[in-house]
Amino acid sequence: MRLLHVATVLDVETTMDEGKELARTIKMLKEFYGPVLAEKKYAILSHCWGAAEEEVSFQEMDQFMTADEEVRNEIRRRTGYQKIVDTCRQAQRDDLEWLWVDTCCIDKKSSSELSEAINSMYEWYHLANQCYVYLHDTVGDTLTHWDESMAIPKWFSRGWTLQELVAPSVVQFFDQKWECIGDREQHASVLNRITRVPTETLKIGFGGPRPSVAQIMSWAADRTTTREEDRAYSLLGLLGVQMPMLYGEGKNAFRRLQLEIIRKSNDQSIFAWSWSKKTGLSDSFLADDPSWFRDCSNVMSLAPDEFVKALAKELPEDELRNIPAKRLRTFTVSNDGIQIWLPTATYGAISEVRLACCQTTDPWEEFPDYRDMPLITMSVALFPSDCFRFFGYFPKSTTTKFHVQIGLQGTFPQWFCRASSAT
């Protein structure tokens, strides 16, 4: 991790303001790794990038001391440079020696360094002593009195800032004049309305019940990124996965992200996207982008034993005891697609598939009664040579029996089902 030395940056500013000669051997950036990095106390900046020509790159900051005076003065006039200096001043007030800023602390010309930074970024924000959120388009404390009729600062619409809101232990908000307008805990209720992130998560992070995959995806549903791939890459840390960066792959980045989640987790809420949609068909088992999870902010994942309890109102006790626990616990990805076993009810060409997740109004309830929670259901339309996910109401036979086994084997972009026949 490459950090800016706060005192050096501010000393350089003072020296230049006074018209004195700079010591060209001084370095403002220094790299740290492992145990040495763990000992460093640092602040971290969360912000929206301005125009590219206004920000300061790693190369410019690294060569700042040896550049000629005309180049240095041009850099100092940029809003991005002033943002770095103002952040250093705040860090100094908080007695923090080091600072990380994404514009100048990552060598983006190195694809390996950029990939490492993206995969490490959540942890870097999590370990920071302070995270400063700079709202460049805000004057005064607009958060305390915010309501739905007011404009939302751009920072809340960007993909990367989601993990920057959730990961750090301490988050402070500043307006464009660098006046502090409160912290994350103080504004938790308003931030919940703006971002969909639960209030308790905003207060204590992931220290309590971990949100489901679908919930985390829903937080990103309306956020945008400059590069299409970053809609996926910006979620890596929040979802606890790592994968290489392949800029140019477009929407395939989000598909790769979902497959990495499936390989690591048995959270079936990843298939709950658009569960409340009223009409339509889809030939894919995976979502195209986070916006497909917009209706999943209250979808809670269920462990296998919780899933069995939730099925109690639909299955006789003897059938519940015969459910193969391992099949409910695992699903696999192969070159032939995704294979998963789930309870199903079949109505002719349509099958209703129960997922191990439910809609809840209080994910923090200590002893929930899973039998009272409605399970999320997928409707699968079966045809002789194909299968589609079906959205909306369809007439159901009253004589259809509920079964405990279904194998969904998905090939991309299409998938098909093997289901036992209903009587």
Q: Check residue 333 and give its pLDDT.
A: 79
- For 184, the token pair is 């994350």
Mean pLDDT, each 10-residue run in order, the chain (423 residues): 97 94 92 94 97 96 94 96 98 98 96 95 96 95 81 94 97 97 95 94 84 96 96 97 95 95 92 90 89 94 86 78 71 75 79 88 62 82 75 65 44 32 30
* Gap between the Cα atoms of 270 and 287, Å rounded: 9
Q: Check residue 56 and give its pLDDT.
A: 97
Helices (H) and strands (E) in the chain, counts: 17, 18
Q: Check residue 197 and give its pLDDT.
A: 95
Q: Which runs of E-coded beta strand occur in 293-349?
A: 299-301, 331-334, 337-341, 344-347
Pairing outcome for strands 406-410 and 415-419: antiparallel
- For 278, the token pair is 């009223």
- Judged on CB neighbours under 10 Å (0-12, 13-18, 19+), 194 is middle
Q: Do 75 and 81 meet the contact criterion of CB atoms below 8 Å apart?
A: yes
Q: What is the pTM of this model?
A: 0.89
Q: Check residue 414 and give its pLDDT.
A: 29
Q: Check residue 126 and give its pLDDT.
A: 96
